[in-house]
Amino acid sequence: MKKGILLSVIATGFIFAGGDIAPVAPVQQPTVAPAACDFWGTLAMRYEFKKNGEYNLGDKENNFYATAIAIGVEKELGYGFGFGAEFGAYTDLGLDIADRVDGTTSELSQLYLTYKAGNTAVKMGRQALPKSLSPWAWSDRTAGVLDKTYEGIVVVNTDLKDTTLVGAWVARVAVGNKSERVNGDTNKGIFMIAMQNKSIANTTVTASVYYAPKPLKATSAWLAVESKAGSVDLGFQFAYAKLDGLNLDKTIGAAAYVGSNFNGLNARLTVAYIDDGATPLSLGTTSGFWGNSFGGAFGGSTVGAKQKIARVDLSYKIDGYGKVYGGVGVDKVTDGPTMVGGRIGYDFKVADVNAKIEYRYHKDLNDVKNHRIRVQGVYKF
């Protein structure tokens, strides 16, 4: 995927992939002819065999299939202004398999205007939000298509040395062709401010605060510190959420990890604790809390009981042949069943197609055993 102008000189790769933002030199107001359009796209396929409790592996009604294409464009219009758009389409090819994809459909997943002046960039409209700076509400791609996008305004500034400042207001969340207000039946929306600092060598400090006025009346705060010392990676995270509009008790979570890389072998141990609050550490199904194990398949959910989570992840890179990875985790719920889970997979590339084969298992709070086998391929252009 090419890097376009959306916060192009500041944060485009970050916005789309959840990576880091690197400060840049000041950008002068453009006075020459606008640059040519910047195009990107993905062509993807995903098939999942599922077994959830009473269903049989391979049961047609409990599987997922999608072929999808996404095409995006960004263009500078001159004098600091620009625009961007992304179109997505997906189909189940008439296989009538249950999940988000039902038949053939399309969506306008992104449509926004941009403006940049010096080290400040503004983006307004329907857009993807980054996981690293927006851990309570962010965008990811499912079978090459953005699973959800958000309608609002994002402002990014890098005037301070080694520091990125972000302010945002989000009014609606869009899934497919449907969008809903994020703060009840009002246009008050949710406000966010965030900061990412890299002034300490090999260390990134990220902090985010959200506030939603009535009727939701919600507050959420996040702090993450990640550092690298030689071949050792360390991280600590704190999360807080309080949803007064629904009279839910506040939830506090803390997580830490230690990892290392040696001759292509990556290993990481993550531990987390969540108190017995009832407010979710997420907006919908998205959460950047490290206690969410294996993409939320288990762990990190708010169940009104204390949780202690431990997870081990391993991966090994084989030069020229991709990467083998796996992990196991345990989520101990006070006065409740212990959730366990694991996954193993192979990530590789064939003819410019990023391919993945993965098996995932978890036993949930209801003691139901869930299995999933995923096969996918994504081609980026």
End-to-end CA distance of the chain: 6
pLDDT in tens, 268-308: 999 999 999 988 888 766 788 888 766 566 666 667 788 89
Strands 104-117 and 120-127: antiparallel
pLDDT at 15 over 70: no
Cβ 183 vs Cβ 169: under 8 Å? no
**What are the φ/ψ torsions at residue 82 (nearest 5 degrees)?**
-165, 180
pLDDT class of 9 with cuts at 50, 70, 90: very low
Q: What residues have CB less than 8 Å from 341, skipping those under 6 apart? A: 293, 294, 297, 298, 299, 328, 329, 331, 360, 361, 362, 363
CATH architecture of the domain formed by 1-211: Beta Barrel (2.40)
Residue range 77-103: average pLDDT?
78
Q: For residues 380 and 299, what is the distance between their CA atoms, to the nearest angstrom?
A: 32
Regarding pTM above 0.85, the answer is no
Apex 349 CA angle, 348 and 354, nearest 5: 95
Determine the distance from the C-alpha atom of residue 108 to the mean position of all C-alpha atoms in its chain, rounded to a whole number. Answer: 19
Q: For residues 222 and 209, what is the distance between their CA atoms, to the nearest angstrom?
A: 6
Give bridge partners of residue 206 from the DSSP assignment: 196, 224
Which of 49, 131, 163, 57 is closest to 95 using CA atoms? Answer: 49
Residue type, 351: A
| The token pair that represents 158 in the structure block | 């890098």
Q: For residues 152 and 202, what is the distance between their CA atoms, to the nearest angstrom?
A: 33
Q: List Cα–Cα distances, 291 to 65, 221, 322, 335, in angstroms.
A: 29, 15, 27, 19
Q: Which CATH code is given to the segment(s) 217-381?
A: 2.40.160
| Residue-averaged pLDDT of the chain | 83
Q: For residues 256 and 236, what is the distance between their CA atoms, to the nearest angstrom?
A: 4
pLDDT in tens, 116-156: 999 999 999 999 998 888 888 888 887 788 888 999 999 99
pLDDT in tens, 310-346: 999 999 999 989 999 999 999 988 877 788 999 999 9
Look at 59 and 90; give whichever has higher pLDDT. 90
Q: For residues 380 and 136, what is the distance between their CA atoms, to the nearest angstrom?
A: 27
Indicate where the chain has its CATH 2.40.160.10 domain(s): 1-211
Residue 307, CB half-sphere, CA atoms under 13 Å: how many? Answer: 31
| The token pair that represents 185 in the structure block | 């039946």
Q: List Cα–Cα distances, 84 to 113, 195, 333, in angstroms.
A: 6, 25, 45
Residue type, 223: L
C-alpha torsion sign, points 181, 185, 186, 188: negative
